[in-house]
Structure 1
């Protein structure tokens, strides 16, 4: 398990960074969406320049990439309802590596 480093606040409303997850270097694009009725964070993931996840919403209590079948494991978002200021403070994105079949 690994906690993805997310940053809160208006200065971090659009985050771009890369993280090594197992054998994969994954580029993250995290964006705060303020024009919805309820604030939200959206996430894109890229591997080798190719988008493998597009527009996944960071919703507490869910494996947010399960339906994408990326082969990189799970991304579980934990914590409270999202705000601009609680990402990485009260909410966390946790990567769980895929199970190795024997």
Structure 2
């Protein structure tokens, strides 16, 4: 079992590439002011959109229930800690990837 933190910054918008096991994913986070939540888009290395508009909430696996179901096992990507805001993202909480 592998498990590690994915580095994020306390910013209202960011795009970064993360090596998650054998897969490289591009993660886009955008703060939705009216909703007071981050919305997340995730793309495979090929550029294929895996998920769009998911809310970044504690305990929610951003890679669960991809549709159409992927033949690739991307593992799980979950936020642990406090409800994220542009000020506390990556400080009071963190993204954790696991291959389980």
- What is aligned with 1:86? 88
Q: Which has the larger radius of gyration?
A: 1
User: Which runs of 5 or more structure 2 residues have no equivalent in the other structure?
Assistant: none
Find the aligned partners of 2:48 and 2:86 in 1 and give their Cα distance.
Answer: 28
Shift of 1:78: 1.0
1:73 matched to 2:75: yes
Q: How many residues of Structure 1 are paired with residues of Structure 2 in the alignment?
A: 93
Shift of 1:91: 1.3
Q: Do the aligned partners of 1:56 and 1:65 also contact (CA within 8 Å) in 2?
A: no
Find the aligned partners of 1:81 and 1:16 in 2 and give their Cα distance.
Answer: 20
Normalized per residue, the structure richer in helix is: 1
User: Which runs of 5 or more structure 1 residues have no equivalent in the other structure?
Assistant: none
Once the two structures are superposed, residues 45-71 of structure 1 have per-residue CA deviations (whole angstroms, 9 ceiling, x without a partner) of 111111111111111122232121552
- What is aligned with 1:16? 15
Once the two structures are superposed, residues 8-35 of structure 1 have per-residue CA deviations (whole angstroms, 9 ceiling, x without a partner) of 1xxx211011111111111111111112
- What is aligned with 2:51? 53
Of residues 88, 96, 99 in structure 2, which corresponds to 1:97?
Answer: 99
TM-score by length of structure 2 reads 0.84
Find the aligned partners of 1:23 and 1:59 in 2 and give their Cα distance.
Answer: 25
Find the aligned partners of 2:24 and 2:31 in 1 and give their Cα distance.
Answer: 23
